Chain A
């Protein structure tokens, strides 16, 4: 064990060997050749380890080069940011939401035509047998005119059930929903919004009137908390959204806003 830093001391006093730099340069110049030789001759596990190390080294190198390049680019020009704000809003955390200018007329025209340019254009039709379960009634359970809906429903607020004796369609309480997770496609944000109504269930007109919500159903949501405004400066209240999941399987309604 060396008792002192005598090598450093010697170097400080007398300097390095005269041809040190030259030899060092040559050694470094030979290094790639040596490495290539090793890569060619190594076999088995050693080759595996060697290649792995070499790969990691190369990744680090490339990263470093890229970082340097970015640094140089930044020094050249600073781009002006988009989304200019007046002075009085600069220090406030204004969400730079690309406010959607809803076009009421467009939507109304679409409503008339009954066609939407929707995210899910084709939906598998739901048959009656899939949506309804036949319920036997009568004293000897001979009658079979009652139906129970087995899918998620939206039931309006003022709805009162008919007397059980005459109720043809039963919509179970456990399958009733009045809120949906609605995603705004441009803001890429999701809001938990109250449902106003079921606009169209593509499977059948009857499902629409019953308020059955399946995949692809168009629902109307209360978007007042999003603060969207029409061109005339009125608050947009209701907007359509299409259901994108199978609510009866998932236990929640996910929808995407139609803008």
Chain B
């Protein structure tokens, strides 16, 4: 009898997170560990030579140590029942959590409003209230170039997907293009918007390898598509009745814009036709994110486990296209919007104008929402001082991350989806672990509110800027 107690076994079956079954039924002891499950799963998938890490779930509960922990052992284990073990492929590389401030870079004479790493992670740019855009050397952490040209606060910046150019928009509604290597202005000033620029988005790399087109949205309610080579506006999309707050250029040729008139509009980027209007929110829509955000953001650079010859533009283009197709193959492009009515909506904007899910729980407006790079998790930052995590496929609530003592302004995922960093009005950054769903590191150091934070795509650095006019770099 006792022997039997130690050797309780269950019939199990492996399933991928999209629902495909792998191999036959296996007879497992319930004391099996996650390491053993990983090697077993790798051998079932015939990839013993290139093993990948996995996370396992039974009925949506994660197996932390052994299978025993998640099985309902109070009930008599039925030998007839088959336990479905869902495996999720994790990224092979691991990003180390940032723990310390390696440098504070003064230079800006006013609050730092936007901070962005280039898609290849080798360059860093920041826009500030002192009307300059500055480029910083990531390796030596020193200033590179100061770009003067704007006449008012530089509100948003965006790197071209091939990392060769940067566009910046200011409060006067002017857009300028910069060369990160020389710090010189490229082309002419692009004027057209009558009010300040709220967002900039480049056409994705896989549909525009030369990085020619980008779009800008403005407080005046218009969206303009620009030709970056000719510095000319080629199309104006009008329709929103109030300020456009967020803009995303999807990979399937659609463009998504959110506005204070409570709607989200889906445009066909090629001819500017309004495809769909997504209604549901009851107040301003503040932010948008796509599940393909990360692959679009990477542009012409790749994760370390993908080997692409960078000298051959055709292979790079093809690899980018393949990578995009892989991500959308599961569920297509998904859009998530966060709003002033404290809710988030999950949309399938390519096909349907009805939301898939409505995510409620925040007690204050949602300021930022981001898909994790593996598209499985959503994180939303709110003025109620909390960050909430949601399932990226069905919008199910996962957990709340509490720790900030004031409004959370911005969040950024690490490239391996295991870590999240958040910047807040309480002048700290906090690093959260997705494994434990808890606070991992508290990073004080800023003197005042943190307005912008970005995690470099190679995962080694975090840059943040805020009201105290200093740009800070954080590393392991």
Give residues in A with beta carbon < 8 Å to B.
78, 80-88, 90-91, 99, 101, 227, 229, 231-235
Q: How far is B425's CA from A99's CA once the two chains are assembled, in angstroms?
A: 11
Task: Determine the residue in chain B with the shortest Cβ distance to A88.
Answer: B367
Q: How far is B153's CA from A86's CA once the two chains are assembled, in angstroms?
A: 9
Q: A84-B110, A84-B153, A87-B198 are in contact. Are A99 and B405 (CB under 8 A)?
A: no
Q: How far is B405's CA from A233's CA once the two chains are assembled, in angstroms?
A: 7
Residue B442 is within 8 A (CB to CB) of chain A in the complex: yes
Task: Determine the residue in chain B with the shortest Cβ distance to A99.
Answer: B448
Q: How far is B114's CA from A233's CA once the two chains are assembled, in angstroms?
A: 21
Identify which of B113, B406, B444 contacts A86 (C-beta below 8 A).
B113
Q: How far is B445's CA from A226's CA once the two chains are assembled, in angstroms?
A: 21
Please determine whether A86 and B424 come into contact, CB atoms closer than 8 angstroms: no
Task: Determine the residue in chain B with the shortest Cβ distance to A98.
Answer: B448
Residues of chain B within 8 A (CB-CB) of A83 are: 111, 129
Please determine whether A84 and B442 come into contact, CB atoms closer than 8 angstroms: no
**Which residues 212-239 of B sit at the A interface, judged by CB distance below 8 A?**
219
Inter-chain contact count A-B, CB under 8 Å?
A: 81
Residues of chain A within 8 A (CB-CB) of B131 are: 80
Residue B426 is within 8 A (CB to CB) of chain A in the complex: yes
Please determine whether A229 and B405 come into contact, CB atoms closer than 8 angstroms: yes
Kindly supply a per-residue 1/0 record for chain B positions 225-267, scoring 1 wherever the CB is within 8 Å of any chain A CB and 0 otherwise. Answer: 0000000000000000001010000000000000010000000
Residue B363 is within 8 A (CB to CB) of chain A in the complex: no
Residues of chain A within 8 A (CB-CB) of B286 are: 88
Q: A80-B153, A83-B129, A87-B156 are in contact. Are A229 and B113 (CB under 8 A)?
A: no
The majority secondary structure among interface residues of chain A is: loop
Please determine whether A88 and B428 come into contact, CB atoms closer than 8 angstroms: no
Apart from A80-B129, A80-B153, A85-B129, list 15 A-B contacts with CB within 8 A: A80-B131, A84-B111, A84-B128, A84-B130, A85-B451, A86-B113, A86-B409, A87-B113, A88-B368, A229-B427, A231-B444, A231-B445, A232-B444, A233-B444, A234-B405
Residue B54 is within 8 A (CB to CB) of chain A in the complex: no
Q: A90-B196, A101-B448 are in contact. Are A233 and B110 (CB under 8 A)?
A: no
CB distance from A92 to the nearest CB of B (A): 9
Please determine whether B426 and A229 come into contact, CB atoms closer than 8 angstroms: yes
CB distance from B407 to the nearest CB of A (A): 10
Q: A91-B243, A227-B406, A231-B427 are in contact. Are A80 and B151 (CB under 8 A)?
A: yes
Residue B162 is within 8 A (CB to CB) of chain A in the complex: no
Residues of chain B within 8 A (CB-CB) of A234 are: 405, 426
Task: Determine the residue in chain A with the shortest Cβ distance to B428.
Answer: A233
Q: How far is B196's CA from A84's CA once the two chains are assembled, in angstroms?
A: 13
Residues of chain B within 8 A (CB-CB) of A82 are: 110, 129
Task: Determine the residue in chain A with the shortest Cβ distance to B447.
Answer: A101
Q: How far is B406's CA from A65's CA once the two chains are assembled, in angstroms?
A: 50
Residue B152 is within 8 A (CB to CB) of chain A in the complex: yes
Q: How far is B287's CA from A86's CA once the two chains are assembled, in angstroms?
A: 13
Residues of chain A within 8 A (CB-CB) of B426 are: 229, 233-235
Q: How far is B427's CA from A38's CA once the two chains are assembled, in angstroms?
A: 71
Residue B124 is within 8 A (CB to CB) of chain A in the complex: no
Which of A80, A88, A90, A233 has the largest count of B CB atoms less than 10 A from its CB?
Answer: A233
**Which residues 87-101 of B sit at the A interface, judged by CB distance below 8 A?**
none
Give residues in B with beta carbon < 8 Å to A.
110-111, 113-114, 128-131, 151-153, 155-156, 196, 198-199, 219, 243, 245, 260, 284, 286-287, 367-368, 404-406, 409, 424-428, 442, 444-445, 447-449, 451-452, 467
Residues of chain A within 8 A (CB-CB) of B114 are: 86
Please determine whether A80 and B152 come into contact, CB atoms closer than 8 angstroms: yes
Q: How far is B244's CA from A88's CA once the two chains are assembled, in angstroms?
A: 11
CB distance from A37 to the nearest CB of B (A): 55
Please determine whether A229 and B406 come into contact, CB atoms closer than 8 angstroms: yes
Residues of chain B within 8 A (CB-CB) of A78 are: 151
Q: A80-B151, A227-B406 are in contact. Are A233 and B447 (CB under 8 A)?
A: no
Identify which of A81, A87, A235 contacts B405 (C-beta below 8 A).
A235
Identify which of B130, B404, B409, B449 contacts A88 (C-beta below 8 A).
B409
A-B pairs with beta carbons under 8 Å apart, 22 shown:
A78-B151, A80-B129, A80-B152, A84-B110, A84-B129, A85-B111, A85-B129, A87-B113, A88-B287, A88-B367, A88-B368, A88-B409, A91-B243, A91-B260, A99-B448, A99-B467, A101-B427, A229-B406, A232-B428, A232-B442, A233-B427, A234-B405
Please determine whether A87 and B110 come into contact, CB atoms closer than 8 angstroms: no
Please determine whether A86 and B243 come into contact, CB atoms closer than 8 angstroms: no
Please determine whether A86 and B198 come into contact, CB atoms closer than 8 angstroms: no
Residues of chain A within 8 A (CB-CB) of B428 are: 232-233
Q: How far is B173's CA from A87's CA once the two chains are assembled, in angstroms?
A: 12
CB distance from A189 to the nearest CB of B (A): 18
Residues of chain B within 8 A (CB-CB) of A229 are: 405-406, 425-427
Q: How far is B196's CA from A227's CA once the two chains are assembled, in angstroms?
A: 30
Please determine whether B452 and A86 come into contact, CB atoms closer than 8 angstroms: yes
Please determine whether A233 and B452 come into contact, CB atoms closer than 8 angstroms: no
CB distance from A119 to the nearest CB of B (A): 25
Identify which of A80, A81, A86 contacts B155 (C-beta below 8 A).
A86
Q: A87-B156, A91-B243 are in contact. Are A233 and B442 (CB under 8 A)?
A: yes
CB distance from B257 to the nearest CB of A (A): 14
Q: How far is B154's CA from A86's CA once the two chains are assembled, in angstroms?
A: 9
Task: Determine the residue in chain A with the shortest Cβ distance to B450.
Answer: A233
Q: How far is B156's CA from A86's CA once the two chains are assembled, in angstroms?
A: 8
Task: Determine the residue in chain A with the shortest Cβ distance to B383.
Answer: A92
Q: How far is B260's CA from A82's CA once the two chains are assembled, in angstroms?
A: 26
Which of A80, A86, A229, A232 has the largest count of B CB atoms less than 10 A from its CB?
Answer: A86
Q: How far is B437's CA from A90's CA once the two chains are assembled, in angstroms?
A: 32
Q: A84-B129, A91-B260 are in contact. Are A233 and B111 (CB under 8 A)?
A: no
Q: How far is B110's CA from A83's CA once the two chains are assembled, in angstroms?
A: 7
Q: A80-B131, A80-B151 are in contact. Are A86 and B451 (CB under 8 A)?
A: yes
